[in-house]
């Protein structure tokens, strides 16, 4: 039974429902190591290496063989081989080894430094789908000087155009204001006043709560799935304000129930996300991002994500950005966790093997296909 489950998990082509592009340019080792830490954007101190972390150990264990190296190879040898192969070859190897059929790509951060949707598809031999970031769209309006009463209408017009070929939108308001704000639809005069203040300030980054709320509810009216960053990220956010439970009033707002709300990452609030997925018919979630960064402990995180939420509400995500190791490793660690956790339940007689196989397909592929209408 265990072998049948392991074979099925390893053969499943995943839908990565939230991901970013892989780097296009060469990095030196110091730059690479910065991107192995989600929390800090600063250089790694000279007295340590980011390879000495759960993520670093996982790369040496599971990524080294993709580069024709033995598992657990020392970091210096890993880096030498990676450099020898070069970025295009390394990227293609890792993206194809992930065995992903569809990437849902948020292009709102680092454009020009990472592969876009089409380039991700070409490098991996898979399909790419666009996810539009709401805050980036608003910042384009501000850069164009759109303000006052024109702001709301122009935002909705650009949102409609930007999402014609998109499968979803995304908000990072957890970074910009926290989730613990009034998330009701703002009045038109409040939007106009806020737009005047923001554009007049010359600040390029959107942090105004009124305009963040406006973007969120414009997305609700657009009707596409809405991805919302929750849980941990870099130190630019206040972690306690990124707890998805703060979204309760938003989820109770009329009209919101008509669109899928996709809670991203969630760790360390994945149990709270599981509650919301059980309590609201339109709420789904993943534990992406954390799976990579907690390494071998990802098995425990995945197990905890299965405690409360219906299995039709969970999705696979790597949330990889930058190093293509992360695109591959997210898939490797998720597959390992699913095989271990569900396999134990099957061996203990608590689950039937047929049910375990069905749930693997749901979370790894079918739920995303349904929610995002991928076909």
Whether 171 and 310 share a structural domain: yes
pLDDT tens-digit series, residues 148-177? 999 999 999 999 999 999 999 999 999 999
Whether 110 and 230 share a structural domain: yes
Write the CATH number for 191: 3.20.20.140
> Among the residues of 98-229, which ranges form H helices?
117-124, 134-143, 150-162, 173-176, 188-201, 209-222
Q: Show the CA angle centred on residue 116, arms to residues 62 and 375, nearest 5°.
A: 85
Whether 241 and 148 share a structural domain: yes
Give the pLDDT confidence score for residue 1 in this predicted structure. 61
Whether 145 and 104 share a structural domain: yes
Provide mean pLDDT across the span 55-76. Answer: 98
Whether 185 and 258 share a structural domain: yes
353 pLDDT higher than 70? yes
9 pLDDT higher than 70? yes
pLDDT band at 3 (very low <50, low <70, confident <90, very high): confident
Whether 62 and 95 share a structural domain: no
Whether 79 and 227 share a structural domain: no
CA 149 to chain centre: 34
Final residue before a domain boundary, out of 67, 85, 103: 85
Final residue before a domain boundary, out of 53, 85, 117: 85
89 pLDDT higher than 80? yes
Whether 158 and 34 share a structural domain: no
Cβ pair 309, 288 in contact under 8 A: no
Give the pLDDT confidence score for residue 327 in this predicted structure. 98
293 pLDDT higher than 70? yes
Beta bridge partners of 234: none
Locate 256 and state its tokens.
Answer: 């919101």
Residue with the bigger pLDDT between 324 and 38: it is: 324
Residues in the chain: 375
Give the pLDDT confidence score for residue 109 in this predicted structure. 86
Provide mean pLDDT across the span 87-108. Answer: 97
Locate 258 and state its tokens.
Answer: 């008509």
Whether 149 and 219 share a structural domain: yes
Whether 34 and 161 share a structural domain: no
Q: What are the strands, taking DSSP E only, across the chain?
A: 14-19, 100-106, 127-133, 166-171, 226-230, 261-265, 283-285
Provide mean pLDDT across the span 288-300. Answer: 95
Q: How many domains does the chain have?
A: 2
By percentage, how much of the chain surpasses pLDDT 70? 99
**45 lies in which domain range?**
27-85
Locate 93 and state its tokens.
Answer: 């190897």
By percentage, how much of the chain surpasses pLDDT 90? 94
Final residue before a domain boundary, out of 70, 85, 100: 85
202 pLDDT higher than 70? yes
Whether 204 and 251 share a structural domain: yes
Whether 49 and 128 share a structural domain: no
70 pLDDT higher than 90? yes
246 pLDDT higher than 70? yes
pLDDT band at 216 (very low <50, low <70, confident <90, very high): very high
Give the pLDDT confidence score for residue 38 in this predicted structure. 86
Provide mean pLDDT across the span 215-230. Answer: 98
């Amino acid at each position: 039974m265990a072998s049948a489950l392991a074979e099925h998990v390893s053969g499943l082509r995943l839908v990565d429902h939230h991901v970013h592009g892989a780097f296009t340019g060469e990095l030196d080792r110091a730059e690479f190591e910065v991107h192995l830490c989600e929390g800090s954007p600063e250089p790694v101190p000279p007295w340590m290496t980011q390879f000495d972390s759960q993520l670093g150990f996982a790369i040496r264990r599971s990524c080294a063989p993709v580069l024709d190296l033995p598992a657990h190879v020392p970091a210096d040898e890993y880096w030498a081989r990676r450099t020898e192969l070069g970025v295009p070859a390394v990227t293609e190897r890792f993206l194809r080894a992930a065995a992903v059929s569809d990437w849902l790509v948020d292009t709102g951060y680092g454009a020009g430094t990472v592969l876009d949707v089409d380039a991700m598809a070409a490098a991996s031999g898979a399909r790419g789908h666009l996810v539009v970031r709401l805050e980036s769209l608003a910042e384009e309006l501000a850069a164009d000087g759109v303000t006052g009463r024109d702001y709301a209408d122009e935002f909705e017009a650009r949102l409609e155009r930007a999402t014609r070929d998109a499968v979803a939108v995304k908000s990072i308001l957890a970074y910009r204001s926290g989730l613990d704000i009034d998330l009701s639809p703002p009045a038109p005069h409040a939007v106009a006043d806020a737009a005047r203040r923001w554009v007049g300030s010359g600040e390029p980054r959107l942090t105004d709560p009124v305009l963040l709320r406006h973007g969120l509810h414009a997305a609700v009216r657009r009707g596409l799935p809405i991805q919302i960053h929750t849980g941990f990220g870099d130190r630019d956010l206040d972690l306690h304000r990124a707890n998805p439970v703060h979204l309760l009033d938003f989820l109770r707002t009329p009209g919101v129930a008509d669109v899928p709300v996709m809670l991203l990452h969630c760790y360390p609030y994945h149990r709270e996300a599981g509650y919301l997925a059980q309590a609201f018919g339109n709420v789904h979630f993943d534990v992406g991002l954390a799976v990579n960064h907690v390494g071998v402990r990802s098995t425990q995180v995945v197990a905890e994500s299965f405690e409360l939420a219906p299995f039709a509400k969970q999705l696979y995500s790597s949330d990889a950005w930058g190093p293509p190791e992360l695109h591959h490793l997210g898939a490797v660690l998720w597959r390992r966790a699913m095989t271990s956790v569900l396999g134990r339940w099957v061996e203990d007689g608590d689950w039937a093997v047929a049910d375990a196989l069905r749930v693997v397909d749901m979370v790894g592929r079918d739920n995303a296909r349904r929610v995002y209408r991928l076909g």
